[in-house]
Amino acid sequence: MNAPSQPSQPLQAGSLRLETALRLLQCSGIELPDTRHSDPAGWLQAVLDGLCELSSRDALTGLANRRQFEMAMAREIDRVARAGEPALVLMIDIDHFKRVNDTHGHAAGDQVLRAVARTLHECIRPMDTVARMGGEEFAMILPNCPPAFGQAVAERVRGKVQARPASVAPGVDVQVTVSIGGAFAPQWVRSSAALWVERADQQLYRAKQAGRNRACLEMPPVSHVSAEEKGLLFGHSQFQDPE
């Protein structure tokens, strides 16, 4: 008979090779508490929290990255399917971004991306998510956004970007506009992130084709679900075994 295994010893922060991780956090401006020796467990948790933060953020703009966006989409799809509350996703693309790079250089293009990111971040509520999807494309997830307000919300975002030229060099400002496509998640239906984004992308393409610097939204079909139907979907089954 084998002897019982001994309980593992608590992992000490000093026994780990953390140099690369610490350099990464330092270069990213994330400060760690000065408790490495007095509270190694708490300090190590701060290292892990910092690395998680870096892994979910776009390095250039500081917005959520595609990975974080996809996680937020999955949570929102689940919430909409269970609660039936409306939710809107906006796909946002900077118009004629290649022209900025060709005219002013890639460093200027980075300044434009940062400026647009700051403006988009100012447009969101605490429960919303704004992410950089890659290149000059951004996305927003807007929970509990009624369809009646969707177009106004998208137009507000578009207008705020247009109203703020991006400074790309001393004395040099670039006028920036965006095209926006939006789609609402189907209520009481467990859709997929790919289908939801695809529908918003179709509206973004429509905005581009219509001349850019505009917002096009796909309005959701009217779906009526009675209280009785909701109970059948989410209530306790009459066929459950008694506890």
Q: Which of 136, 137, 198, 243 is catalytic?
A: 136
Ordered alpha helix ranges (H), the chain: 19-27, 40-55, 66-83, 97-104, 106-122, 147-162, 193-209, 227-234
HEC readout, 152-200:
HHHHHHHHHHHCCCEEEECCEEECCCEEEEEEECCCCCCCCHHHHHHHH
What are the C-alpha distances in Å from 21 to residues 17, 47, 62?
9, 8, 19
Active site residue 76: no
Positions annotated as catalytic residues are: 136
